[in-house]
Amino acid sequence: MRLAPYLFAGPAVVLYVVFMLIPVLYAIWLSLRAYRLQAGGTFGRRVEVFVGLENYIGVLSDPELLASFGRLAIYGLIAVPLTLGLALLFALLLDVPAVRAKRFSRTAIFIPYAVPGVVAALMWGFMYLPSTSPFSYLTEQAGWGPIPFLTGSGLFGSLANIAIWGGVGFNMIIIYTSLRGIPDELYEAARLDGANELQIALRVKVPLVGPAILLTTVFALIGTLQLYGEPMTLKPMTNDISQTWAPLMTIYRDAFLTDNLPAAAASSTILALGTVALSLLILGIVNRKRFGARS
């Protein structure tokens, strides 16, 4: 009896320590060290030494990494609000009693959840590529030339579109499930007070599904910061995606192509800290609001 909970939680705790805690600590430790050439021998020896925050300073003053964070921010500012906004809109519309073809719409919008990001990027990539794009086909027929999906600033919208396409359905279902849990009496009360369906949606439903929206926001943010597979997949189709387009691509390059592990560890730590900080910020703001409303 005394031992039982430890045995039940044991496997999870061991796996958590081995595959999450230790890697995090290891990355932090690595990020504080660097390889140095030491005099001696003909070519010198490569040794690992403690360098404090040097890697962080180096990484944070690396214009390529900073630029990749900038691109990620633009991408996120397009993808996150649109994904959540559309998910909320679709969920609210599904909750309108008289709507037709509900099952069809719900299922169709949910389907992209089953498609891996890399495969989604592959499919959209061909729909962006001028030689195979149905959209560019139409604009070319009209004499306007192909749509620049894969060049210049068009890339942000194109990449964001892949994320929106893949994310709307899952978030919609979470918010919709949460909407179904609201008792009907609340709506009746609002109707008796003379509220119309739009007012009910905005003033009653949206605040009540707040926790679900919050949760999907945090997940969308975490997903955004992990952007990797999609730009990697589109990369062969365009010259405008560099080796360092997204932060994780830079980290991958540092770790495996240029063999600069300490820099990769430092950028990983910054990215993870940034994610945790952003998530806590959102959760904190919302909690304070809820707390304030309660008291």
Interface residue with other proteins, options 104, 183, 293, 294 (CB under 8 A): 104
Ramachandran assignment for 24, one of left (phi > 0), alpha (psi -120 to 50 degrees), beta (any other)? alpha
- Contact region for other proteins (CB under 8 A) — 35-43, 48-56, 70-78, 85-93? 85-93
Q: Does 59 bind other proteins (CB under 8 A)?
A: no
Q: Compute the distance between CA of residue 184 and CA of residue 116 in angstroms, rounded to an integer.
A: 37
CB of 156 to other proteins, least distance (A): 19
Q: Report helix angle 261-294 to 210-225, nearest 10.
A: 170
CB nearer to other proteins: give 40 or 181: 181
Largest Cα–Cα separation, the chain: 89
Residues 187-246 within binding reach of other proteins (CB under 8 A) = 197, 209, 211-212, 214-215, 218, 222, 225-226, 228-229, 232-233, 235-237
- Contact region for other proteins (CB under 8 A) — 46-54, 56-64, 66-74, 103-111? 103-111
The amino acid that residue 73 corresponds to is: A
- Contact region for other proteins (CB under 8 A) — 73-81, 101-109, 143-151, 182-190? 101-109
Give the bridge partners for 45, in sequence order. 38
Interface residue with other proteins, options 32, 93, 195, 204 (CB under 8 A): 93
How many residues sit in the footprint of other proteins (CB under 8 A)? 103
Interface residue with other proteins, options 60, 67, 82, 102 (CB under 8 A): 102
CB of 121 to other proteins, least distance (A): 9
CB nearer to other proteins: give 43 or 291: 291
- Contact region for other proteins (CB under 8 A) — 18-26, 34-42, 59-67, 69-77? 18-26
Q: Compute the distance between CA of residue 78 and CA of residue 73 in angstroms, rounded to an integer.
A: 9
Single out the residue of 120, 155, 130 nearest to residue 138, CA to CA. Answer: 130
DSSP 68-106: HHHHHHHHHHHHHHHHHHHHHHHHHHHTSTT-SSHHHHH
CB nearer to other proteins: give 110 or 156: 110
Q: Compute the distance between CA of residue 176 and CA of residue 106 in angstroms, rounded to an integer.
A: 10
Single out the residue of 195, 168, 173 nearest to residue 95, CA to CA. Answer: 173
Interface residue with other proteins, options 19, 52, 188, 284 (CB under 8 A): 19
